[in-house]
Amino acid sequence: MTTEEELLKAFRMIDKKGAGVITADELREYLYKRQHNELFVQKYLRLFDRNRDGKITLDEYQKTLNEIPRAQRQAIVFRYSQWRHLFEKIDKDGNGFITKQELLQAIQEMGAGSMFGAADVDKFFANSDKDYDGRINYREFLEWMNQSQDE
């Protein structure tokens, strides 16, 4: 499946009614289920809602995608699929959360145990565990990954 096909498929998945229009509520529901936060929803709306009416039409979506260079579109899709794969690899029990123990185990399996230890994991959790539940959900993981990319 090409990047364009994947992105069009994503539009159709969000557009539950099949009307060729994604409402802000449909977008929010779709992205929240995938552990994205409100900031990401707003960025997505700003990017694709060209006339600022709170909806994204298929035409707006396609025009915006066409303005993004193909290589950049491919990089975006690849990056998020890689991040999802990494998250799932670290989340050993598949419950949708990364624990400190799972992260330490992943670090050991990657051969980075001499570079990162329990203190580093504690620091990561202190900075990334936004809901203070002692676990990292996918949304928190993505926020950390995006922040790391910006630095």
Provide the whole-model pTM: 0.60
Phi, psi at residue 81, to the nearest 5°?
-70, -35
Please state which CATH number belongs to domain 71-150: 1.10.238.10
Q: Which tens digits make up the pLDDT trace of 82-121?
A: 888 899 999 999 998 999 999 999 999 989 888 999 999 9
Model confidence band, residue 147 (pLDDT cutoffs 50, 70, 90): confident
DSSP labels for 30-94? HHHHTT--HHHHHHHHHHH-TT-SSEEEHHHHHHHHHHS-HHHHHHHHHHHHHHHHHHHHH-TT-
Rounded to 10°, the helix 118-128/138-150 angle is 100
Indicate the domain borders of the chain. Answer: 3-68, 71-150
Question: Can 3-68 and 71-150 be said to share one CATH topology?
Answer: yes
Whole-number percent of the chain with pLDDT over 90: 49
- 3-class DSSP state of 49: coil
Q: Which tens digits make up the pLDDT trace of 28-49?
A: 999 888 878 888 888 889 889 9
Written as six digits, the tokens of 119 are 């203190």
User: What average pLDDT does the chain have?
Assistant: 87
Question: What pLDDT is recorded for position 1?
Answer: 64
User: Counting every residue, how long is the chain?
Assistant: 151
Q: Say which CATH architecture domain 3-68 belongs to.
A: Orthogonal Bundle (1.10)
Asked if the model's pLDDT at residue 8 lies above 90, the reply is: no
